[in-house]
């Protein structure tokens, strides 16, 4: 008996669309690579679709839920972050939404680590030197040197899934690790990492002893050579510990003048004009960003200032952009597969139709007894 569900996807999610079509779903995919205007999303939702596939570029709020009253049954977001979806509104209208946590954890953490390496060892500047024929000689310290990562201290701001994966990668580079998270601490994981550090040292795999510990934000910022950000975006009123502009002028000034900031979380966690000033005035050593307050990055962004170009790496929201991570149809490997499965679970009433038991539903609190 084919399923007669109607779905609108605000972007193409590749082969995973066929996971739905093969089950009898009628799926319309927005054909452009850019996000559709909100008015089109409203129009599609009003037309009576059962499911909506969204990206972090789509604003999903009461207006959308109101348009879907009586028909819309699920929003399936292809991303782990869901700050574009108004959770309170979703709960008010009792619409479940799903995300794609877990499958992008390692890809995002490894990319954060590569950004950190790019910044510390000045890979971008070094390649320009070669390509522009400015590499005239080998010399012990000219035209510049980079900073090693091995043996340095990193602060991991946010110890959720991606922060913990970043910890694992940093431990492999013999780094000391300061952890900070206002909302979620995983002391068991930190203890296990310390044990692996101790074992590696005891067995001669790493020469120096290294350590990991939870500290306050101030301690983390004051002591770290690298600061890597892995918090969700939480605005004032959304949490007791909002993260909006966590990296403002005050907190940037707490970092060492030689320290590097890496952000793969959400752009608005960093106050961009404050960061540009910090780089111009050398309060910190450098920054590498994959996410921005407004995406794509504005042509007149202060982060594009040529005066800070050598210290400021700018990437296009790319951290999870691995082939398997983004597009595998396997919900245990790919964001696209997980996005489709989240929709199937809700529409087909898997898990006995109990939304609180569906692994990819985020706002379970709206559906408890
Ligand atoms: C990407 O930024 C995501 O939230 O998956």
pLDDT digit string (tens) for 130-157?
A: 999 999 999 999 999 999 999 999 999 9
pLDDT, one tens digit per residue, over 159-206 is: 999 999 999 999 999 999 999 999 999 999 999 999 999 999 999 999
Q: How far is the CA of 295 from the centre of ligand 1 (A)?
A: 13
Question: In the predicted model, is pLDDT for residue 258 greater than 90?
Answer: yes
Question: In the predicted model, is pLDDT for residue 291 greater than 80?
Answer: yes
Ligand 1 pocket member 320 (CB < 6 A): yes
Q: H helices of the chain, where?
A: 16-21, 38-46, 62-67, 87-92, 105-120, 123-131, 161-172, 187-202, 217-223, 249-252, 272-280, 323-327, 335-347
Question: In the predicted model, is pLDDT for residue 1 greater than 80?
Answer: no
Mutation pick for ligand 1 pocket among 76, 320, 325, 362 (CB with most ligand atoms within 8 Å):
320
pTM of the full predicted structure? Answer: 0.96
Q: What ranges do the domains of the chain cover? A: 6-103+323-367, 105-314
Ligand 1 pocket member 288 (CB < 6 A): no
pLDDT at 2: 59
106-127 average pLDDT score: 98
Ligand 1 pocket member 79 (CB < 6 A): yes
108-120 average pLDDT score: 98
Q: How far is the CA of 143 from the centre of ligand 1 (A)?
A: 37
Cα–Cα distance between 294 and 314 in angstroms, integer? 13
Q: Which of 226, 217, 167 is nearest to 197 (CA)?
A: 167
Q: Do domains 6-103+323-367 and 105-314 have the same CATH topology?
A: yes
Ligand 1 pocket member 269 (CB < 6 A): no
Q: How far is the CA of 159 from the centre of ligand 1 (A)?
A: 16
How would residue 222 be classed by pLDDT, with cut points 50, 70 and 90?
A: very high
* Residues catalogued as catalytic: 266, 295, 317
Crossing angle (nearest 10°) for helices 123-131 and 105-120:
60
37-61 average pLDDT score: 98
How would residue 369 be classed by pLDDT, with cut points 50, 70 and 90?
A: confident
List the end-to-end C-alpha distance of the chain, in Å, as a whole number: 31
Q: Whose C-alpha lies nearest to ligand 1, atom 3?
A: 79
115-123 average pLDDT score: 98
260-266 average pLDDT score: 98
pLDDT, one tens digit per residue, over 4-30 is: 899 999 999 999 999 999 999 999 999
* CATH no. of 105-314: 3.40.50.720
Q: How far is the CA of 131 from the centre of ligand 1 (A)?
A: 33
Ligand 1 pocket member 19 (CB < 6 A): no
As a whole-number percent, the residues of the chain with pLDDT over 90 amount to 98
Ligand 1 pocket member 81 (CB < 6 A): yes
Q: Whose C-alpha lies nearest to ligand 1, atom 4?
A: 81
pLDDT at 3: 72
Question: In the predicted model, is pLDDT for residue 252 greater than 90?
Answer: yes
CATH topology of domain 6-103+323-367: Rossmann fold (3.40.50)
Q: How far is the CA of 166 from the centre of ligand 1 (A)?
A: 16
Inter-CA distances, 78 with 24, 218, 319, 347, Å:
21, 34, 14, 17
Cα–Cα distance between 19 and 213 in angstroms, integer? 44
Q: Are 53 and 44 in contact (CB under 8 A)?
A: no
């Amino acid at each position: 008996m084919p399923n007669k569900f109607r779905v609108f996807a605000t972007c193409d999610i590749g082969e995973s669309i066929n996971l739905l079509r093969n089950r009898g779903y009628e799926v319309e995919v927005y054909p452009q690579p850019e996000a559709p205007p909100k008015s089109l999303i409203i129009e599609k939702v009003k037309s009576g679709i059962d499911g909506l596939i969204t990206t972090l570029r789509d604003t999903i709020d009461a207006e959308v839920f109101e348009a879907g009253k009586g028909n819309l049954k699920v929003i399936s977001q292809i991303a782990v972050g869901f700050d574009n979806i108004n959770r309170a509104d979703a709960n008010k209208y009792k619409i479940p939404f799903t995300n794609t946590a877990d499958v992008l954890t390692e890809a995002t953490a490894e990319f954060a680590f590569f950004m950190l390496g790019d910044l510390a060892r000045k890979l971008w500047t070094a390649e320009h030197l070669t390509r522009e024929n400015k590499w005239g000689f080998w010399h012990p310290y000219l035209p510049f040197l980079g900073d090693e990562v091995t043996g340095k201290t990193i602060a991991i701001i946010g110890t959720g899934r991606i922060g913990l994966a970043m910890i694992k990668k940093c431990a492999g580079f013999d780094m000391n690790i300061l952890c900070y998270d206002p909302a979620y601490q995983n002391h068991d994981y930190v203890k296990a990492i310390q044990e692996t550090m101790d074992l590696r040292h005891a067995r001669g795999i790493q020469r120096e002893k290294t350590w990991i510990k939870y500290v306050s934000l101030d301690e983390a910022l004051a002591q770290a050579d690298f600061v890597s950000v892995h918090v969700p975006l939480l605005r004032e009123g959304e949490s007791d510990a909002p993260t909006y502009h966590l990296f403002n002028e005050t907190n940037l000034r707490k970092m060492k003048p030689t320290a590097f900031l890496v952000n793969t979380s959400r752009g608005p966690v960093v106050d961009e004009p404050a960061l540009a000033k910090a780089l111009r005035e050398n309060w910190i050593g450098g920054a590498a960003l994959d996410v921005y307050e407004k995406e794509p990055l504005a042509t007149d962004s202060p982060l594009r200032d040529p005066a800070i170009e050598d210290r400021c790496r700018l990437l296009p929201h790319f951290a999870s952009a691995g082939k398997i991570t983004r597009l595998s149809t396997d919900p245990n490997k790919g964001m696209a597969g997980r996005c489709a499965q989240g929709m199937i679970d809700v529409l087909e009433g898997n898990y006995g139709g109990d939304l609180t038991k569906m692994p990819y539903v985020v706002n379970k609190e709206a559906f408890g007894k």
